[in-house]
């Protein structure tokens, strides 16, 4: 059994969404093996957090995890850094030096930004993964090491393979176990948990009172795309708390911080004009639908009033959200019920009872995919589900096959 909470605590992973739970479950499945893992994901999405969680839940947890940022080491010295060198093996090598693979013996090595590793070094890394062997620079003795390898990248490694920048054999070897750090926008409902944790930590450390974020502020933050993911969110939370010291954070403060230039501060239906065109269009349609519904309610009440039904009986408390029941006398074509069906229901009366939820869902997905010409990101946004969920449903319904066939 995988103990999700234990893994979450071991690496301070924030998030209770299905996406994060699935990610943690995967960490749990692979942590206790020695198999190499490739962590992919956008910048700031938590790849290093995942690597730490794997190490802390492995049998190597009491040994070291050495993190090597492959992008930060100049290509000329990376081999000597990783594998060490023999005394006198190159100018300046006045002493022998142990590399990271030697130092991490029995522990874990985390090769961050693995896409930046030079091709020759990639071949040597493959040998370590496959045989646990390497040679120091300038040495001919084979060294043995017992190291678990975790790699991470925000590059599309398959593309790098095509371009000839990354070895295909190493790529295949690494991608067998691939954990994806989920972009923040795909588990945006976790955002309040991050805000709370980052807000409390930062204010406590800097002796600032923490009065929280208003719900409107949260709404604005949920609608933002967070290209820099959790790292960006952390910076934004901290900046907001410094810029508005001791105050409760409002939507206006957030909009200013995120540089959202046009912001309509309606608490119920904020429309951010900086959002992408599809999102704005969707929100406008939603707004129009609500107005339409309001109009229909008014017409209906007028008609009911004229037929002797008390207006107070059906007066909605919030006309935009409330729909009074259809009076039983009005079911003939051309009457109020008909008007209501045509104007308010997305599904025609005659198919009720004939169509299942999953058929409906499948059709929604297929038609949305068609509308957005197969663009899954746009489709997921329009349907208001995560891309991951969309992928799963595409597979479940076999839509994938149909797309390919067409």
Ligand X SMILES: Nc1ncnc2c1ncn2[C@@H]1O[C@H](COP(=O)(O)OP(=O)(O)OP(=O)(O)O)[C@@H](O)[C@H]1O
Residue of 26, 36, 41, 48 that binds Mg ion (CB under 5 A):
48
Regarding 12 and contact with ligand X (CB under 6 A), the answer is yes
> 207-236: which residues touch ligand X (CB under 6 A)?
230-231, 234
Residue of 4, 7, 15, 241 that binds ligand X (CB under 6 A):
15
For residues 36 and 170, give the distance between their C-alpha atoms in angstroms, rounded to a whole number. Answer: 11
- Residue 43 C-beta: closest distance to Mg ion, Å: 8
Residue 336 interacting entry, from ligand X, Mg ion, none, C-beta within 5 to 8 Å by type: none
CB under 6 A: which stretch of 45-53, 255-263, 300-308, 318-326 binds ligand X?
45-53
For residues 303 and 259, give the distance between their C-alpha atoms in angstroms, rounded to a whole number. Answer: 48
Q: Which of 55, 57, 30, 52 is nearest to 177 (CA)?
A: 30
Residue 107 interacting entry, from ligand X, Mg ion, none, C-beta within 5 to 8 Å by type: none
For Mg ion, the closer of residues 48 and 340 by Cβ is 48
Q: Which two tokens stand for residue 209?
A: 């009172």
Angle between helices 277-306 and 336-344 (to 10 degrees): 170
For ligand X, the closer of residues 36 and 379 by Cβ is 36
CA distances 367 to 211, 370, 382, Å, are 45, 5, 11
Q: Write the interaction track for ligand X spanning residues 102-141; mark x where CB under 6 A is met and - where it is not.
A: ----------------------------------------
Chain centre distance of CA 253 = 25
Residue 44 interacting entry, from Mg ion, ligand X, none, C-beta within 5 to 8 Å by type: ligand X
> 130-189: which residues touch ligand X (CB under 6 A)?
154, 181
> 248-287: which residues touch ligand X (CB under 6 A)?
none
Q: Which residue is nearest to ligand X (CB)?
A: 46
For Mg ion, the closer of residues 27 and 394 by Cβ is 27
Instruction: Give me the residues paired with residue 85 across strands.
Output: 97, 137
Residue of 24, 36, 38, 45 that binds ligand X (CB under 6 A):
45
Residue 154 interacting entry, from ligand X, Mg ion, none, C-beta within 5 to 8 Å by type: ligand X
Residue 231 interacting entry, from ligand X, Mg ion, none, C-beta within 5 to 8 Å by type: ligand X
For residues 399 and 359, give the distance between their C-alpha atoms in angstroms, rounded to a whole number. Answer: 12
Kind and range of the H or E element at 383?
A: helix 376-383
For residues 19 and 386, give the distance between their C-alpha atoms in angstroms, rounded to a whole number. Answer: 9
Q: Which of 208, 206, 267, 257 is nearest to 232 (CA)?
A: 257
Q: How many CB atoms lie within 10 A of CB 172?
A: 11
As a whole number of Å, the CA-based R_g of the chain is 28
CA distances 39 to 46, 79, 159, 352, Å, are 9, 22, 16, 46
* Binding site residues, Mg ion, CB under 5 A: 47-48
* Binding site residues, ligand X, CB under 6 A: 12-15, 41, 43-49, 154, 181, 230-231, 234
């Amino acid at each position: 059994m995988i103990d999700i909470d234990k893994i979450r605590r071991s690496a301070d992973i924030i998030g209770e969404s299905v996406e994060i739970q699935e990610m943690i479950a995967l960490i749990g499945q692979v942590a206790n093996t020695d198999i190499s893992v490739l962590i992919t994901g956008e910048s700031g999405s938590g790849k290093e957090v995942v690597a730490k969680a794997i190490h802390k839940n492995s049998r190597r947890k009491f040994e070291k995890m050495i993190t090597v940022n492959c992008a930060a080491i100049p290509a000329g010295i990376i081999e000597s850094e990783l594998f060490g060198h023999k005394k006198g093996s190159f100018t300046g090598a006045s002493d022998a030096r142990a590399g990271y693979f030697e130092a991490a013996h029995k522990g874990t090595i985390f090769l961050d930004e693995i896409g930046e590793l030079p091709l020759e070094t990639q071949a040597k890394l493959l040998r370590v993964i496959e045989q646990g062997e390497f040679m120091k620079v300038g040495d001919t003795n084979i060294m043995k090491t017992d190291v678990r390898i975790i790699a991470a990248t925000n590059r599309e490694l398959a593309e790098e393979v095509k371009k000839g920048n990354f070895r295909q054999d190493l790529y295949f070897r690494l991608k067998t176990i691939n954990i994806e750090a989920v972009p923040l926008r795909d588990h945006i409902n976790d955002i309040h948990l991050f805000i709370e944790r980052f807000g409390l930590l930062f204010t406590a450390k800097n002796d600032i009172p923490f009065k929280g974020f208003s719900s409107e502020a949260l709404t604005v933050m949920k609608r933002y795309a967070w290209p820099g993911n959790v790292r960006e969110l952390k910076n934004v939370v901290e900046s907001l708390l410094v810029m508005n010291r001791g105050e409760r954070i409002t939507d206006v403060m957030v909009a200013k911080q995120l540089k959202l230039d046009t912001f309509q501060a309606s608490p119920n239906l904020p429309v951010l004009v900086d959002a992408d065109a599809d999102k704005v269009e969707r929100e406008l349609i939603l707004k129009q639908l609500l107005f339409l519904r309001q109009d229909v309610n008014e017409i209906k009440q007028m008609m009911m009033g004229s037929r002797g039904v008390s207006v107070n009986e059906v007066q909605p408390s919030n006309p935009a959200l409330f729909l009074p029941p259809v009076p039983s006398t009005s079911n003939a074509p051309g009457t109020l019920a008909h008007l209501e069906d045509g104007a308010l229901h997305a599904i025609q009366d005659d198919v009720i009872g004939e169509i299942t939820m999953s058929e409906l869902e499948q059709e929604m997905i297929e038609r949305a995919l068609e509308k957005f010409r197969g663009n899954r990101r746009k489709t997921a946004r329009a349907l208001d589900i995560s891309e991951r969920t969309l992928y799963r449903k595409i597979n479940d319904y076999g839509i994938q096959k149909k797309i390919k066939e067409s």
